[in-house]
Amino acid sequence: MITISNLSKFYKSGNETIAALSQINLQIQKGDIFGIIGFSGAGKSTLIRCLNRLEEPDSGRIVIGDTVITDLNEAQLRLARRKIGMIFQHFNLFDSKTVFQNVAFPLTVAGHPKDQIRDKVRELLALVGLEDKENDYPSQLSGGQKQRVGIARALVNDPDVLLSDEATSSLDPQTTYAILELLQDINRKLNLTIVLITHELDVLQHVCDHMAVIEYGRVAETGTVDKLFLNPESETARRFISIIDYYRDQRFVIEGTGAGI
């Protein structure tokens, strides 16, 4: 469903050229929850933002469904983006608009009829569990509730794909799991393909089916999430797993001394 071929992206910084992405090749199946994991600076954000061309790739090809995203002109890209929802670490809500107005925004600017907008927004607020918050402002909501608004807004055009750019990174662990479960629920109910970038192995383990590890702008390994844990091939995956093992061992040491945690 999503095919990324030979994708490269460079940034200029002074006299230096940084290869943020080098010859990325990936296939993501329709209906999958696909995790892209890597340490900070690995190229995850650049990769996910190339999928809807918020960043312009320097070379390579991206196909989503039947659409060659990299061949589209500006007007075609605007239409195609309606079918690619996106959620962000810092939610990107309008503080001066209510929950209802935030979710309705893409439909309002596209000039949809008011009753159609109302029905769609209410359907989505029910889906994300915020039926009773439509007149609240973002400042009245918790982080998890704000992200639920972000998710509802991302779904307002019935997208085929949802891109999640570190969407749980600023949430506490309990809220993170609730949001991940919501994403899983939406994936099943709407058969939506979700591409999720994260620097947290826990997120990948909790929600993703398949994964790619990004290291220095390259794909270091791909496969199922189970395979990553059973047989990590890349340096990045081994480091992630050793960090988890380290903290587990620390807990055993503390519990063993009766200190508790």
Examine residue 26 and tell whether it contacts ligand ADP (CB under 6 A): no
Examine residue 43 and tell whether it contacts ligand ADP (CB under 6 A): yes
Among 37, 42, 84, 149, binds ligand ADP (CB under 6 A): 42
Examine residue 41 and tell whether it contacts ligand ADP (CB under 6 A): yes
3 state SS of 85: strand
Q: Which stretch binds ligand ADP (CB under 6 A): 40-48, 108-116, 130-138, 156-164?
A: 40-48
The runs of H, that is alpha helices, within the chain are 44-51, 74-81, 99-109, 114-127, 143-154, 173-190, 201-207, 225-230, 235-256
3 state SS of 141: coil
Rounded to the nearest angstrom, the gap between the alpha carbon of residue 178 and the centroid of all alpha carbons in its chain is 15
The distance of closest approach from Cβ of residue 244 to ligand ADP in the complex, given in angstroms and rounded to an integer, is: 19
167 close to 196: Cβ distance less than 8 angstroms? yes
Q: Which stretch binds ligand ADP (CB under 6 A): 41-49, 62-70, 99-107, 220-228?
A: 41-49
Nearest-angstrom CA–CA distance, 129 and 148: 8
- Encoded one letter per residue, x for contact with ligand ADP by CB under 6 A and - for no contact, window 46-65 reads x-------------------
In this complex, which beta carbon is closest to ligand ADP, that of residue 39 or of residue 229? 39
Examine residue 212 and tell whether it contacts ligand ADP (CB under 6 A): no
Nearest-angstrom CA–CA distance, 139 and 224: 39
Q: Which stretch binds ligand ADP (CB under 6 A): 34-42, 88-96, 205-213, 220-228?
A: 34-42
Nearest-angstrom CA–CA distance, 70 and 52: 9
Examine residue 94 and tell whether it contacts ligand ADP (CB under 6 A): no
Among 4, 7, 20, 201, binds ligand ADP (CB under 6 A): 20
Examine residue 150 and tell whether it contacts ligand ADP (CB under 6 A): no
CB atoms closer than 10 angstroms to residue 144 = 18
Nearest-angstrom CA–CA distance, 202 and 171: 13
Nearest-angstrom CA–CA distance, 122 and 130: 9
In this complex, which beta carbon is closest to ligand ADP, that of residue 48 or of residue 156? 48
Examine residue 84 and tell whether it contacts ligand ADP (CB under 6 A): no
Which residues contribute to the site for ligand ADP (CB under 6 A)? Answer: 11, 13, 18, 20, 38, 40-46
